[in-house]
Amino acid sequence: MGLFDRLTGLLGLKKKEVNVLVIGLNNSGKSTVINHFKREDDRCIDIVPTVGFNVEKFAFKNVGFTAFDMSGHDRYRSLWEHYYKDCQGIIFIIDSSDKLRLVVAKEELDMLLQHPDVAGRKIPILFLANKMDLPDSLTTVKLASGLGLDRIQNKPWHIRATNAVTGEGLQPAIEWLTDQIRDIYINKR
Amino acid sequence: MNGLGIDRHGVGGLGTSRWLEAIWEPGARIYCLPGGLEMLDISGDGDARFIVADLGTGAAESAKIRVFKGGDQITEHSMIDPPCGVVGFYSENGEPQSALLAVGAGSSVYIYKNMRPHFKYCLPYMDAHPKEREIWHRAGLEEELNVLSLSDELELLLKELGAATISPRTLKFLGMDVSLRFSFAEQYRRIPLSKANAVTTIDTIRKDSWNDPASSCLLIGTESGEILVLDSRAFSVVDKLPLGWPPVSLLSTGLWAGDGHIIAIGRDGKLGSVRKGCALRLWDKLSAPAVALTTLAGDNAAVAAMDGTLVGFSKKGIKLWQLQLPGIALDLISLPVLQSGLSLLAVSVAGSGVLLYDGKFHVDSIKTAEPISAIKHGRMGQEERAMAMVTIGGGLNVKILKRTADFSVKASTNPTMNSNNNRFTIPKKTRLFVEQTIRERSEAAKIHNAFQSAFLRLRLTVARKAVEILATNQEFRPNPITLEASVLGLGPNYLIKILVTNISDGLSDTELFLVCRDENADIKPRVIDLPLLPSGIPIPVSVNATPRGKIPGKVHIMLCKMGKVKPIALTTVVLPVPEDDIEV
Q: Which residue has the higher pLDDT, B427 or B239?
A: B239
Q: Cα–Cα distances in Å, from B65 out to A57, B292, B382? A: 50, 21, 22
Judge whether B20 is closer than 8 Å to chain A, CB to CB.
yes
A5 has pLDDT over 60: no
- The answer to which of A92-101, A138-147, B141-150 has the lowest mean pLDDT is B141-150
Note the pLDDT of residue B338. 79
A131 known ligand binder: yes
Q: How confident is the model at residue B58 (pLDDT cuts 50, 70, 90)?
A: low
Q: Is the pLDDT of residue B447 over 50?
A: yes
The stretch B249-271 carries a mean pLDDT of 89
Nearest residue, CB atoms, A99 vs list B3, B21, B400:
B3
User: Amino acid identity, residue B405?
Assistant: A
Residue whose C-alpha is closest to residue B205's, from B175, B241, B167: B241
Q: What residue spans define the domains of chain B? A: 130-188, 431-472, 481-575
| CB neighbour list of residue B553: distance below 8 Å, 6 or more residues apart | B518, B519, B520, B521, B547, B574, B575
The whole-number average pLDDT for the span A18-29 is 91
Least confident of A28-37, B199-208, B470-479: B470-479
Rounded Cα distance, B28 and B397, in Å: 9
pLDDT digits (tens, 9 = 90+) for B208-241: 888 888 899 999 999 888 899 999 888 889 888 8
Identity at A43, one-letter amino acid code: R
The Cα B314–Cα B316 span in angstroms is: 5
Strand order in the sheet with B319-324: B290-296, B300-305, B309-313, B319-324
Strand order in A157-161's β-sheet? Answer: A53-60, A63-70, A16-24, A89-95, A125-130, A157-161
Q: Which residues numbered 357-416 in B keep a CB inside 8 Å of some CB on A?
A: 380-386, 398, 400, 402-404
Rounded to the nearest angstrom, the minimum Cα separation between A144 and chain B is 10
Alpha carbon of A106: minimum distance to chain B alpha carbons (Å): 9
Confidence of residue A1 (pLDDT cuts 50, 70, 90): very low
Q: For domain B481-575, is the CATH number 2.60.40.10? A: yes
- Nearest-by-Cβ selection for A98 from B4, B339, B382: B382
Number of alpha carbons in the 13 Å side-chain half-sphere of residue B492: 13
Give the sign of the dihedral formed by CA B269, CA B275, CA B277, CA B283.
negative
Higher pLDDT, residue A169 or B424 = A169
User: A52: annotated binding-site residue?
Assistant: no
Radius of gyration of chain A measured on its C-alpha atoms: 16
User: Is residue B419 pLDDT above 80, yes or no?
Assistant: no
As a whole number, the mean pLDDT across chain B is: 84
Question: A114: which chain B residues are within 8 Å (Cβ-Cβ)?
Answer: 14
Contact call for residues B305 and B293 (beta carbons, < 8 A): no
**Amino acid B148: pLDDT:** 83
In this prediction, residues B205-210 reach a mean pLDDT of 88
The annotation status of A50 as a binding-site residue, yes or no, is yes
Output the CA torsion sign for B135, B138, B143, B149. negative
Mutate which: A71, A76, A104, vs B, most B CBs within 10 A: A104
Neighbours of A58 (CB within 10 A): 18
**Which of A48-62, A105-119, B1-15 has the least mean pLDDT?**
B1-15
pLDDT band with cut points at 50, 70 and 90 for residue A12:
low
**Residues paired with B572 in a beta bridge:** B556
User: Is the pLDDT confidence value at B517 over 80?
Assistant: yes
- d(CA A130, CA A138) in angstroms, rounded, equals 10
How high is the pLDDT of residue B12?
38
Angle subtended at Cα B19 by Cα B17 and Cα B22, rounded to the nearest 5 degrees: 130
Pick B403's closest partner by Cβ from A77, A100, A146.
A77
Distance between start and end Cα atoms, chain A: 20
| Res B10 pLDDT > 50 | no
Q: Between B74 and B470, whose confidence is greater?
A: B74
All structural domains of chain A with their residue ranges:
17-186
Q: Do A145 and B4 touch (CB under 8 A)?
A: yes
Q: Within the 159-188 window of chain A, which residues sit less than 8 Å (CB to CB) from chain B?
A: none
Mutation for B interface: A78, A100, A139, most B CBs within 10 A: A100
- Burial of B284 from C-beta contacts in 10 A (0-12 / 13-18 / 19+): middle
Q: Is A7 marked as a binding-site residue?
A: no
Is A30 marked within a binding site? yes
pLDDT at A71 over 70: yes
What are the tens digits of pLDDT across the range B114-159? 889 999 999 888 888 888 888 888 888 887 778 888 888 888 888 8
- Quickly state the pLDDT bin for B580 (edges 50, 70, 90): low
CATH number of the structural domain A17-186: 3.40.50.300
Provide the pLDDT for residue B404.
Answer: 84
Residue A3 pLDDT more than 70?
A: no
Question: How many residues would you count in chain A?
Answer: 189
Tell me: pLDDT of B7 over 80.
no
Mean pLDDT, chain A, rounded, equals 87
Residue A118: pLDDT over 70:
yes
pLDDT in tens, A123-138: 999 999 999 998 889 9
User: Does residue B87 have a pLDDT over 90?
Assistant: yes
Distance from CA of A11 to the nearest CA of B (A): 42
